[in-house]
Structure 1
Amino acid sequence: MNFVPLTSVLLRLFYVCSALVITCGNLLVIVSVFYFKQLHTPTNYFILSLAMTDLLVGILVCPFSMAIADSSCWYDENLLCKIRGGFDIMLCNCSVLHLCCISVDRYYAVCQPLRYTKKINDHVASIMILFSWSVSVVIGTGVMVIGIHKKSCVTSCSFHVRITTTFGCVVSFYLPASVMLCIYFKIFQVAQKQAHRIHNQSCQSTKPVTRREKKATQTLAVVMGVFLMCWTPFFLCVTFQPMSNYAIPVPVMEIFCILGRSNSLLNPFVYAFFYRWFRAAFRMIISGKIYQGEFGNSKLH
């Protein structure tokens, strides 16, 4: 009589719960931005597209991960591994690029508020979002098509292959992350200077950053910070794995990979915690109030 190992059962249960929470949480974000006109801003369009990226993690990556959770050998040219790896890389790259777009949006909103509406509008936001998705789809598809073909049974899904090289990590993660950190550091410096000038009442000729813009910038900086905390351990391991002659145990890599995917679960909670208008939108959706009338023009408090 065959018994499924307890670790496999727990891992599958984890993926099922994660997929449900990721899907429901990000659907709340997507419906909120689509339905409530108050949320129709370029910044929230970036959040909407990022939520779609996270939603696909729950719909695509988690089920594939669950399907191969207890497998010990991959045949058919590692088809499931290649598909999951391709989606993983595509969606991770897409998240990084969206966070880069958000950092640029926040830079103009805080550092150049007079030029913000000209530099970042619906048309520009659409182009940036389309670019992020296009690049990510090309990269993810390339991983699936070009993936390494194993001729023998192996005990790991994707960590003993050299699809993700050090160069790939630099281009896909370290470089964008460094750019985002530099931009947010600049934003922080400018915000501090503006706060000091306003306090001294010596800056009457420039348009001050609104409290709402500051709140949005702080929240989106938290979103970026959560992303970096979730994915940095995995990318560090991938970077040093070839240098250590693949000494890092596969279970450790899997755990860090799961930590990275958990970022898709956390983002909706960040929005709900920091944005009172998202909290109001979530309450109206969960309670079913939006089905009782037309509330698209409602003022969210």
Structure 2
Amino acid sequence: MRSDLSLPAAVQLCYENVNGSCIKTSYAPGPRLLLYALFGLGAALAVCGNLLVMTSILHFKQLHSPANFLIASLACADFLVGLSVMPFSMVRSVESCWYFGDSFCRFHSCFEGSFCYASIFHLCFISVDRYLAVADPLIYPVRFTVSVSGACIAFSWLLSITYSFSLLYTGANEVGLEDLVSALTCVGGCQVAVNQNWVLINFLLFLIPTLVMISVYSKIFLIARQQARRIESMSNQTTVSSDSYKDRVAKRERKAAKTLGIAVVAFLISWLPYFIDSIIDAFLGFITPTYVYEILVWVAYYNSAMNPLIYAFFYPWFRKAIRLIVSGRILQGDSASINLFPE
């Protein structure tokens, strides 16, 4: 929950002639337009980029794999952030007022939490998937099947949605903060206060998957180094074909692990400052200035636009899929069978 201690000389209200209206902080036309452009660009990238990821994976048969279904579901979470969270937060951040009603304010906060936790749970399962693929690439297809991938996706979504909606709709997050909430509540505001107990639980739900991902990717790094050294030490050129095939598969899986590892690092860099600030606020009386809070929120939001850019940079198949989608070739009858992988 945020409140500014200093008020401008000419006080503006979110709702003129309404008792209890929140105070509005106005920007000059130039900065206001710049902020709308910056935030709008982030929302557009999140929606369009993740829509391309989902379309690519679901349309092209060559991409129908358990690991890619996890990536498509992750892209769905980021897509929903760009579609249902960022546009409304953009107006709130620039206008410093909430014009979409109290009911949708609560929904908006639930969406924000649900999609954040869904993303981190997906990334955690993806890291385990990459570990299995790199550790033993020949056995991996038998161990990580479509049904296993579906169970991971269902768990990520159900836990995230159930937790976020239950917390905010039962009012458990405001227990012990009733006086503060009452004092700072005004018409045109959309602020959620979370008490110390639930802030710690929120942080643990972020921290535990993070530690799992760090541990798993550390093991992946060690395995990749061992595999690289083994390949370099092989001086005998008469290697049997099965070993040669295994090495090629291992190399492909290591590259995929590296790319998704970068996506994990980007997620942590984006969201960790926000979660740290939430703990500081809860234990020090919500002292974060409004503009600092908005910066942290938008750094976190922009993570939803980053993953498609990472895929486009590292995955040639994704760049080819984008060209086919944009050119309209996916409308052809045989487009789903097009080969996306370079020989």
Relative to the length of structure 1, the TM-score reads: 0.89
Query: Which residue identity does 2:158 align to in structure 1?
Result: S
Residue 231 of structure 1 corresponds to 271
> 2:80 aligned with 1:49, yes or no?
no
Could you tell me whether the CA contact under 8 Å between 1:46 and 1:98 is conserved in 2?
yes
Match of 1:5 among 16, 27, 41: 27
- Relative to structure 1, the CA distance from residue 141 to residue 243 in structure 2 (aligned partners, 3 Å threshold; closer, same or farther) is closer
Residue 231 of structure 2 corresponds to 198
Could you tell me whether the CA contact under 8 Å between 2:266 and 2:303 is conserved in 1?
yes
> 2:178 aligned with 1:151, yes or no?
no
Gaps of 5+ in 2: 1-11, 13-23
Match of 2:137 among 100, 113, 137: 113
Residues 139-168 of structure 1 deviation map (CA, whole Å, 9 limit, x = unaligned): 121133124474344476436543884422
1:66, distance to aligned residue in structure 2 (A): 3.2
Query: Which residue identity does 1:51 align to in structure 2?
Result: A
Partners of 1:122 and 1:224 lie apart in 2 by: 22
Could you tell me whether the CA contact under 8 Å between 1:159 and 1:250 is conserved in 2?
no
Partners of 1:271 and 1:31 lie apart in 2 by: 14
Relative to the length of structure 2, the TM-score reads: 0.79
Q: Which has the larger radius of gyration?
A: 2
Residue 213 of structure 1 corresponds to 253
Partners of 2:184 and 2:298 lie apart in 1 by: 23
Query: Between the two proteins, what is the percent identity of the paired residues?
Result: 37
Count of paired positions: 299
Residue 249 of structure 1 corresponds to 289
- Relative to structure 1, the CA distance from residue 8 to residue 168 in structure 2 (aligned partners, 3 Å threshold; closer, same or farther) is farther
1:41, distance to aligned residue in structure 2 (A): 1.0
Residues 236-267 of structure 1 deviation map (CA, whole Å, 9 limit, x = unaligned): 11122233333321221221111001000111
Residues 73-95 of structure 1 deviation map (CA, whole Å, 9 limit, x = unaligned): 7997x434322221111000000
Partners of 1:276 and 1:73 lie apart in 2 by: 42
Match of 2:200 among 151, 155, 167: 167
Residue 39 of structure 1 corresponds to 63
Could you tell me whether the CA contact under 8 Å between 2:137 and 2:250 is conserved in 1?
no
Residue 213 of structure 2 corresponds to 180
* Structure 2 counterparts to residues 91-130 of structure 1, below 5 A: 91-130=115-154
Partners of 1:17 and 1:72 lie apart in 2 by: 21
Residue 318 of structure 2 corresponds to 278
Residue 53 of structure 2 corresponds to 29
Comparing 266-275 with 250-259, greater Cα deviation is found at 250-259
Partners of 1:282 and 1:276 lie apart in 2 by: 10
Report the 3-state secondary structure (helix = DSSP H, G, I; strand = E; otherwise coil) of the residue aligned with 2:282: coil
- Relative to structure 1, the CA distance from residue 145 to residue 74 in structure 2 (aligned partners, 3 Å threshold; closer, same or farther) is farther
Could you tell me whether the CA contact under 8 Å between 1:74 and 1:157 is conserved in 2?
no
Partners of 1:106 and 1:222 lie apart in 2 by: 13
Could you tell me whether the CA contact under 8 Å between 2:134 and 2:254 is conserved in 1?
yes
Could you tell me whether the CA contact under 8 Å between 2:196 and 2:283 is conserved in 1?
no
Partners of 2:272 and 2:197 lie apart in 1 by: 14
Query: Considering only aligned residues, what root-mean-square deviation do their CA atoms show, in Å?
Result: 2.7
> 2:56 aligned with 1:16, yes or no?
no
Comparing 104-113 with 165-174, greater Cα deviation is found at 165-174
Query: Which residue identity does 1:217 align to in structure 2?
Result: A
1:21, distance to aligned residue in structure 2 (A): 1.9
Gaps of 5+ in 1: none
- Relative to structure 1, the CA distance from residue 87 to residue 8 in structure 2 (aligned partners, 3 Å threshold; closer, same or farther) is farther
Could you tell me whether the CA contact under 8 Å between 1:98 and 1:129 is conserved in 2?
yes
Report the 3-state secondary structure (helix = DSSP H, G, I; strand = E; otherwise coil) of the residue aligned with 1:151: helix
